[in-house]
Each structure stands twice: as C-alpha cells, then as structure tokens.
C-alpha cells in the first residue's frame, strides 16, 4: 500500500460550530474579552466534551436545534471560567499555536498499519478517508492547543486500550460500509 493513500484530510465539523459560537460570544458579550490563546484553550475543552462530527451529519450551526446550541454555550461558559482561573497565555511561546485533535493522528497511524497488515480485508484506497472519519466519530477527541509536533509527543502517553479498541472499530466500520453497498 502506497504511503500517499494516507495523505487525505479529515475534518471535525464540530470545530467550525464551536469556533463560530465562541466568536459570536466574543462579539456579543463584553465580559468575554480574552486573548487568542485562551479562546483556543476554551475551544479545546468544549470539543473534548462533545461528540465529534467527522462525517457530515449536522455540520452547520444553523442546523443544530436550540437545545444543542444552549448546551454548547453552557460548555463554553464553563470552559471560559476554567481557562480564566488557569490561563496559559503567559507561557513561553515557541512557534505558533494551533488547535489539534491528536486522536486524528493516532487513528491515521492505526489505520495505516491495519491496511498494511490485514490482507484479508479488502479496502479500496478511496474508502480510506471515509473509514477514518467514521472511526473518528466513535473515538474520544483529544484536543489540545499545541505547536507543530506537540501531538506526536503525546502519542507516547497513549493508553494501551487505544490500539485494540480502534482496530475493532475499524472492522465494524468496514462491515457497515459493505452492508450499505
Ligand atoms: Zn489569555
């Protein structure tokens, strides 16, 4: 299997929704006056607390019902309190920070090894991004604000259940896709 089959991108549409809500709050609430770094920390906390949406289901803010939006706004308020009590913006910065879900990197690695080693499972290259997105929808997000490479360092602290859990999830997802065909 050529490595470039794994150069696909996946996207958690929940990121767009949460970032939009945080920006909205910043515009409308004069007390919500915080720096870019703290906004990223708040977004990471909220994104770790809600179900990810890597497969497009409800991917726009206007598609969410009022209860879902209210829940997200409540999570944003709570995360803002947490970040205000313990801000990270005074840390020495080395490079630019960005928001990253390290589960994406981990799922990609497990899936790549799976495709290389499980010769009995037929998986066409164009299905790989869909499989990755469906697996990520069922994988606990691990968002953090990090500099480039930060998430790779955290892979060493990976819990030992992650790989077997992810592999069984990959099998289930492939079965689901084949059943739909
Ligand atoms: Zn700040």
Residue 18 has pLDDT above 90, yes or no: yes
CA of 35 to the centre of ligand 1 (A): 4
Sorted by where each begins, the domain ranges of the chain are 13-85, 97-180
SS3 of residue 136 by DSSP: helix
CA of 67 to the centre of ligand 1 (A): 29
CA of 7 to the centre of ligand 1 (A): 34
CA of 33 to the centre of ligand 1 (A): 9
CA of 39 to the centre of ligand 1 (A): 7
Give the pLDDT confidence of 64-90 residue by residue, as tens digits. 899 999 999 999 999 999 999 988 887
Instruction: Read off the pTM.
Output: 0.84
Torsion of the alpha carbons at 39, 42, 43 and 46, rounded to the nearest 10: -160
Contact 147, 94 (CB under 8 A): yes
- The fraction of the chain above a pLDDT of 70, given in percent, is 87
The tokens for 34 are 């915080």
Name the residue with tokens 């069922």: 138
CA of 36 to the centre of ligand 1 (A): 7
């Amino acid at each position: 299997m050529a490595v470039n089959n794994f150069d696909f991108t996946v996207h958690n549409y929940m990121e767009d929704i949460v970032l939009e809500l945080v920006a909205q709050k910043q515009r409308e609430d004069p007390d919500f006056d915080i720096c870019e770094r703290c906004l990223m920390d708040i977004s990471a906390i909220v994104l770790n607390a809600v179900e990810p949406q890597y497969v497009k289901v409800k991917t726009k803010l206007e598609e969410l019902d009022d209860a879902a939006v209210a829940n997200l706004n409540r999570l944003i308020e709570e995360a803002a309190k947490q970040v205000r009590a313990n801000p990270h913006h005074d840390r020495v910065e080395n490079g630019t920070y960005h928001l990253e879900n390290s589960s994406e990197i981990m799922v990609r690695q497990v899936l790549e090894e799976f495709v290389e080693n499980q010769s009995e499972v037929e998986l066409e290259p164009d299905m790989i991004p869909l499989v990755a997105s469906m697996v990520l929808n069922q994988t606990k997000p691990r968002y953090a604000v990090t500099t480039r490479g930060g998430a790779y360092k955290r892979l060493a602290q990976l819990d030992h259940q992650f790989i077997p859990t992810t592999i069984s999830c990959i099998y289930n997802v492939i079965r689901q896709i084949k059943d739909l065909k």
